[in-house]
Amino acid sequence: QSISNGNSAVALTQIADKAMAEQSNILDIVKTKLIQAATDTTSQEGREAIGKDVSKLLDQINNIASQTNYNGTTLLQADATISGAAGTALTFQMGETTNDTITTTAGVRSNASGLDLTALKSAAASGTSAVFDAAASRGYMAAVDTALNTLNGWRADFGSTQNQLESAVRNQMTQ
């Protein structure tokens, strides 16, 4: 049963990683759009269009966070409906005793709020020159870089847990 538990847990970590990889791709696109909006060769009307696109992309980051689950367990935030709460640690039973467990890191909140992108989302959605101009776009680039670093940290945590699980499964098979 431990081998089966381990294989299921590996699948769970792979799902979380692939979902966060797509979120990372989206953030790369957002950064590209902010670079486009930050230049004075882009008109304010162009920035409004870019802002609408950025807002929709951040909506998709929220969708991925709320929809990514394994067997009903939401993986990228507390649950499918509460975007403000971070996910709890997941514990996988990998042996015969109560101490034979492997646990993920708690605190994953891979949505716009958890990645500190709510100000960008609000500004992009409004698209007005008062809040989404070239200078503001340049300022939001740093927020996207920070979000990417946060996301990559969570991906690394899931990746290291996956490596630990795979090792435990191999050990169980040997036994």
Could you tell me which residues come within 8 angstroms of residue 45 by beta carbon, excluding any fewer than 6 positions away? none
The pLDDT averaged over each successive group of 10 residues in the chain (175 residues) is: 96 97 98 96 94 96 96 92 86 94 94 95 87 93 97 96 97 92
Q: What is the pLDDT of residue 130?
A: 80
- Rounded Cα distance, 12 and 76, in Å: 11
Asked if 77 and 110 count as a contact pair (C-beta separation under 8 A), the reply is yes
Q: What is the pLDDT of residue 89?
A: 94
Dihedrals phi, psi of 117, to nearest 5 degrees: -115, 15
pTM confidence score: 0.93
Q: What is the DSSP letter of 54?
A: H
Asked if 47 and 55 count as a contact pair (C-beta separation under 8 A), the reply is no
Q: What is the pLDDT of residue 128?
A: 81
Q: Given the structure tokens 């692939």, which residue do they identify?
A: 18
